Amino acid sequence: MTTNPTITPPAGRIEPIRVDNLLISFTTEYLRIWDTDGLRAKPASFWHPTPAPDVLPGYFPLGDVVTRGHGNINGNTVVAVVCDADTASSDPTKGKSLRRPDDYELIWKDSGSGSKRDLSIWRPIPPEGYIALGSVCSSDHEKPSFNAVRCVREDLVIASNTSDLAWDDKGSGARRRVSTWSAVPPVAAPGEIHLASGSFVGLSDYNKPANFPVYCLRLKIGLQVNPRPMAPLLCAETPTPVVSPDNPSYIAILPWFTIRDPRFSRIEQLSRSPFYLLERTDQYLLVGYANNTENQSRIFRWTAPRAQQAGSLQAFTHTTSVEFGAQWQTNLQDPLLFSARLDHDFTQCEIHSNEWLNAAAIEVVAVVDKNRSVAAYLMQSDYRLLRADGTSVTNTFSYTDGSSLHISQYVPTEPEAVILPAPEPVVEPTVQPPLTDDEISAALVVPELSAATDTAP
């Protein structure tokens, strides 16, 4: 699970997606290189992405773009562009995220077609440990510049499927053959996004070979994890209200192209909300409590309705395209091909079990000892999807975790016995009988002194 310590909305220039030391952004600006005007081949145009240097300094395309027809794609077609981050990889054994190609290999040129302008298509030859994601065009028959494209470090991409045919030059009259294809993202693993760059891959044949390696970018879904709420403690015969948490327990950061936003068009999302926050807030809710004042144990029962409703989750998916417990993807260039899947811990959907579809109430049974009190709680998770400006995309929807049952017991403190000091024994006074006159006289007689003896010599 990937943890990001802070999430800050972008200010001014759109913040890129970061994967290790690779920065990914997007452009809608292109330079037309060539089209099939005047040829008998199916109409097509070839374009080179040109990220604006004042907005995306240091960014490079991953390949060129082919589209059907001759219409202008500027401002309405999106492709990924990449940049090497200033900081090094988190793994010191890995190098830069991007490298320029070592060389180019010719795939096709228009010789013999009778085209008014020249075109040649080239395959970048990447350095060892790097992958080329797209082909590059030249407006003549010479090799393109080595700065026309960048190759990506192989651990940042994933082998992918191949799309249907995009275009071939059948009928052009050229001496060589060419067909163009693109990558289709494979099934995403939990917590990952696979993104097709939008560039094409050329073949010097009309038939797609069985082994045709194409690749997509491999992204991680950023996940901020905050401390979950502490289990409530019953401190008296009746429970105190549960305090609502100050912060969400989890925040998943989703790029704009993974969300369908009813407020914006797909192109508007890129500038208006380049990312979305899917928040999950966990809190304990009281199911019931009991005070057993009898001198024997008692059984107490409560029924807790589940918060999840299939209709709420279906409405969320229908509006935003985001799936819980499964991947979601686009099969059309609308505007980018991708596949994505949220982490199972975040969605609370196991691979072989989906409690989101379980609407049955939860029965809670507690055996309470004599002179004891208990309170039962269940964890509820509230989900909401926010734009970059903090506004909500849809209504909040909730989930009750049936395995989160928490029972707290209160045992009243018995008063301590007060031990008083033992009283000192009372001494009874002795009463003497009154003296007689003779006893009084005897007591008053002074004893006679001995006669003095003179011992002097």
Q: Is residue 107 part of a domain?
A: yes
What is the reported pLDDT for 172? 95
Residues 70 and 201 in one domain: yes
Q: Which residue range is the domain that position 353 belongs to?
A: 222-410
Residues 174 and 199 in one domain: yes
Collapse the DSSP code of 442 into the 3-class scheme (helix H, G, I; strand E, B; otherwise coil) and give the result: helix
Q: Of 49, 43, 79, whose CA–CA distance to 166 is shortest?
A: 43
Contact 86, 97 (CB under 8 A): no
Residues 180 and 252 in one domain: no
Residues 97 and 148 in one domain: yes
First to last CA, the chain: 126
Residues 138 and 239 in one domain: no
Which region holds residue 75: left if phi is over 0, alpha if psi is between -120 and 50, else beta?
left
Contact 121, 149 (CB under 8 A): no
Q: Is residue 2 part of a domain?
A: no
What one-character-per-residue DSSP string does 274-325 give? SEEEEEEEEEEEEEEEEEE-SSS-EEEEEEE--S--HHHHHHHHHHH---SS
pLDDT beneath 50, residues of the chain: 1-12, 440, 442-457
Q: Is residue 425 part of a domain?
A: no
Number of domains in the chain: 2
Contact 59, 51 (CB under 8 A): yes
Per-residue model confidence as pLDDT tens digits over 337-389 = 999 999 999 999 875 567 898 889 999 999 999 999 999 999 999 999 999 99
Q: Is residue 52 part of a domain?
A: yes
Residues 53 and 177 in one domain: yes
What letters, b where the CB count within 10 A reaches 16 and e where it falls short, cover 77-113?
bbbbbbbbbeeebeeeeebebbbbbeebeebbbbeeb
Q: Is residue 443 part of a domain?
A: no
Q: Of 189, 74, 64, whose CA–CA distance to 137 is shortest?
A: 64
**Residues comprising the chain, all counted:** 457
What is the reported pLDDT for 448? 47
Residues 229 and 216 in one domain: no
Contact 186, 160 (CB under 8 A): yes
Q: In what order do the strands lie in the sheet with 60-61?
A: 17-19, 22-27, 79-84, 60-61
Compute φ and ψ for 269, nearest 5 degrees: -60, -40
Which of 220, 235, 257 lies at the terminal end of a domain, its last residue?
220
Q: Is residue 456 part of a domain?
A: no
What is the reported pLDDT for 353? 66
Which of 220, 249, 275 lies at the terminal end of a domain, its last residue?
220
Residues 206 and 237 in one domain: no
What is the reported pLDDT for 432? 58
Q: Is residue 455 part of a domain?
A: no
Residues 195 and 47 in one domain: yes
Residues 215 and 266 in one domain: no
What is the reported pLDDT for 2? 42
Question: Which residues, in sequence order, are CB contacts of 421 under 8 Å at separation 6+?
Answer: none
Residues 399 and 381 in one domain: yes
- Token couple for 184: 């289709």
What is the reported pLDDT for 81? 98
What is the reported pLDDT for 349? 86
Q: Is residue 186 part of a domain?
A: yes
What is the reported pLDDT for 413? 81
Cis peptide before 227 (omega within 30 of 0): no
Residues 265 and 383 in one domain: yes
Which of 410, 425, 443 lies at the terminal end of a domain, its last residue?
410
